[in-house]
Chain A
Amino acid sequence: FVGVGGGNDFQWCFSQVKGAIDEDVAEADIISTVEFNYSGELLATGDKGGRVVIFQREQESKNRPHSRGEYNVYSTFQSHEPEFDYLKSLEIEEKINKIRWLPQQNAAHSLLSTNDKTIKLWKISQRDKRAEGYNLKDEDGRLRDPFRITSLRVPVLLPMDRMVEASPRRIFANAHTYHINSISVNSDHETYLSADDLRVNLWHLEITDRSFNIVDIKPANMEELTEVITAAECHPHQCNVFVYSSSKGTIRLCDMRAAALCDRQSKFFEEPEDPSSRSFFSEIISSISDVKFSHSGRYMMTRDYLSVKVWDLNMENRPVETYQVHEYLRSKLCSLYENDCIFDKFECCWNGADSAIMTGSYNNFFRMFDRNTRRDITLEASRENSKPRAILKARKVSTGGKRKKDEISVDSLDFNKKILHTAWHPKENVIAVAATNNLYIFQDKIN
C-alpha cells in the first residue's frame, strides 16, 4: 500500500490528539518515546517524567463506520523514578529513553522501558471478571471460620469494570556506566540488547543479575575517545545479527556467532564524504541518531541530522537511497550549533510494507518519503489542523528569496517545536507523531 500522501488516491487525515493544550509545557510531560506493539492494537508513550501511557485501539463501531478505531488510554503507570547516584554525586534522570514491546505470549502484554541506567520489564494485564462465592473467605477477604462452613459452593465469575494493572516483573540494573540510548528485542524472543554510549550488552529476559557485554568501544585511555555508539538494533529475523551506529556516521553489523565480543564487525557501512561540502560541522551532522531495520530485514535505514539513508545490507560502501529531510538547514549549521539544535536526535520509521519512511523535523513538521514513487511530503502536527478527519495539507518551506503564499520561510521556523519521535502502525496507515507534550494520531482517509 502507498504510504505517502499528495496524490489523488491517498491522503492523511487528523484523527486524534492527546495531551494538554496549554502553551506552558511542563517538562515532565514532554514525550520522549512512541511505540506501537506488534499488532498495532496498543500504542505506548514514555515521557520525561518517567511515566508510560498506553493507548488501546477501540474496536471499530458500527455507528461510525467512516472512522477507524480510536486510541484511548488503556493504562498509565510510573515506570522510572528519579534516582541519585551517591558515588558519583549525580542525579539519574527518570526520562524514558525507549520503549520496546515484547511479542505477546498470553493474555497479558509486556514491554521493556528504559531510562539512562535501568531497564524494566513491565507486564500489563487486565481483569474484567472477578470471582464471587469463595468457600474459605468472605466477600471482603476475611477468612471464614472453618467450623462454620457447612456446605460447599462453586465460586462464580462475574463481570466487573475493566481494571488494567501494570507490574514490574524484571529490573535490569547496574549494567551500564554510560547513558542507555537503545534497547532492542531479539527475534528469538528470549534475549534483548541494550546499548549505551560505549557498550552494548546482551540480556536474557529471565535473568536480571547478569548480562553479556558484546561490544565495547571504550578506549583504554578516555582521552583518546573520539567516537560513541548512538543506536543499536537486533535484526528482525536473524537472531545472531545486530547493528550499531556511531557518532561518526558509520554503521557496524555484527554476527554474534563470530566471537563472544563483537568488537570486529562483520560489515562496515559508511558513505564516503563529499569533499565539496566539508565543513567543521560535517562530522556532527553525519552523526547517526537512529537506525532501523526494514521489516523484511533486507534493508536498514539511518537518520543523520539532515537526511535519511536506506542501506542494502549487502552493500557497504554507500546507501541505496538518500532522502533530504531539511536541506535548507545546511546553511544554518553554525546557528544550529550555537543553540545546540544540531545535536537533536531525530528518529525514523518504516511503514509496514517498507514502502515508505517517515521522520520528524522542526516547526512540528514531519516528512514522509515514498520509496517507490520517490514522492515526498511535509506535514504539520498542529492544533490548527485538528478538526476530526480534516485532511492534512502539504507544507512547504521556502528556500529561495521569494516566498510563495502558504510557504513558510526558514527564518520563521520554530526550532523549539521539534518532532523527534514518530511511529507507524505495523499493518495499517496509522501514524503517531509526538510533538513535545502532545501525541497526534493521523490516519489515511477512507473513501
Chain B
Amino acid sequence: MRKRGSRPIYMPVRRRREKANMYSKGTKRKFSDGVDNKAVAASYSLQRQSLLDMSLLKLQLCHMLAEPNLCRSVLIANTVRQIQEEMAHDGSWQVVTEALGGSGHGPSDRLVDTEVLCQSSEQQDGGPRLYSVMGYDGCREEEVVTDKALCSVVVGDRAPALLLGTIGHCWDRGELRVEDGVSKDSGTGEEEGTKSGEGAKMATGQVFGTFEIKNGAPGSDPALEELFSDVDASYYDLDTMLTGMQSAPKMGPYDFLDSLASSHGSVSNSSCRADLNELDHIMEIIVGS
C-alpha cells in the first residue's frame, strides 16, 4: 500500500531547482537553451513512459471498482492510445523491441504494452468472463465483450503534434498534494534524496519491464515487481480481482485509489446493502415492474 504523500516509484524525480523555473515562466513552456537535446529527448521519453504507466494503472484499478466511470475510462484509454501512437511514430517502440531481441515484427504488432491486460483474460479457464481488464464492458453490458482496443491500435499516418515543454513541465508532482496534512516541501525533499539514485536505474528497467510482463503472469517479473513494489501485488492477481468482483466490493483497493484520487465520484461509497432491498428487488423482477 502506497503511503500517503509518497510518490510512486515510476515517477521520475525532479530536481527542486526546476520548480522555481516553472513558476516564473508563466504559461509558455520552453526548455532553456544549453540543455543537451539528447538529454531532453531521453527525459521526455521517460516522462511519457511514466504517463503511460500511470494511465494503465488507472485503467486497471478502474476495473476493480463496482462500476467504472465510463467517461473517465474512455478519456484515459484515449490518452494511452495517443501515447502509443506517438511512441510508434518516434520509433522508440522499435528501439525497445530491438533491444529485447525481437525480430522483424512491425510496430503495430508491438503495440502490446497493454496486451498484458488483455492477456489476463485469456488466461482464464473458461467460466464466465465478467469483464476483461481493459474494456468498457466494465460498465456492465449484457453482452461480455473482450476489448482489444489497445492491443490492436492502428498506427495512424499523422504524427501527433506535441510540445516537449508542455509535457515536461507537467511532471512536477511535488506541487500538488490532495491529501490533507502533508507537508509538501519536506516530503519531496526526503524522497528525492533516497530515490534519486534509484531513479536512473529504474528508468531503463521500467521501459523494458512493461514489455517483459506480456510473456509472464502479472507480478512474477522482477522488473515489474520493482515497478509496483509499493503496491500490494494481490491487486493484480486475476483471481483476487475476480473474486473481489463477485462478492461485495472490498474496501482494500479503495485505500490505494484514495491516495490517487480524492472525492471522485467513481468510488463506490459503501458496502453492499443488499439485505435491505433484496426481497423488494426480487419481487420487482418477478412482477416485472
Contacts and interface: CB of A to CB of B under 8 A. Distances in A.
A115 B169 CA distance: 39
Interface in A78-115: 81-91, 93, 95
B167 interface: yes
B231 interface: no
Interface stretch (A51-59, A263-271, A410-418): A410-418
B24 interface: yes
B147 A223 contact: yes
A399 interface: yes
Interface in B214-255: 245-246, 249
A330 B167 CA distance: 11
A335 B277 contact: no
Contact of A89 (B130, B149, B176): B130
Given A335-B172, A339-B178, A399-B26, A84 B149 contact: no
A280 B82 contact: yes
Contacts of B24: 400-401
Contacts of B173: 334-335, 338
B214 to A, nearest CB: 19
B264 to A, nearest CB: 5
A327 B27 contact: yes
Contact of A178 (B70, B167, B178): B70
Nearest to A328: B27
A439 interface: no
Nearest to B136: A222
Interface residues of B, number: 74
Interface in B131-148: 135-137, 139-142, 145-148
A25 B204 CA distance: 44
A343 interface: yes
B72 interface: yes
Interface residues of A, number: 66
Interface string B246-289: 10010000000000111111001110111011100110010000
Contacts of A401: 20, 23-24
Nearest to A48: B269
A344 B140 CA distance: 23
B163 A415 contact: no
Nearest to B277: A83
B139 A338 contact: no
A177 B270 CA distance: 21
Contact of B148 (A83, A85, A88, A223): A223
Interface string A421-440: 00000000000000010000
A416 B74 contact: no
Interface in B153-192: 160-163, 166-167, 169-173, 175-176, 178, 180, 184
B207 interface: no
Nearest to A343: B72
A447 interface: no
Contacts of A222: 135-137, 141, 145, 147
A340 B260 contact: yes
B75 to A, nearest CB: 5
A168 to B, nearest CB: 13
A387 interface: no
Interface of A: 27-28, 30, 48, 81-91, 93, 95, 177-179, 197-198, 221-228, 230, 247, 275-281, 283-284, 287, 327, 330-341, 343-344, 399-401, 410-411, 415-416, 418, 436
5 contacts: A84-B272, A89-B130, A227-B74, A228-B74, A416-B263
Given A225-B149, A338-B173, A401-B23, 19 more contacts: A28-B269, A82-B273, A84-B272, A84-B281, A89-B245, A90-B67, A177-B139, A247-B75, A279-B163, A283-B75, A287-B75, A331-B27, A331-B170, A334-B171, A336-B176, A340-B260, A340-B261, A340-B264, A344-B264
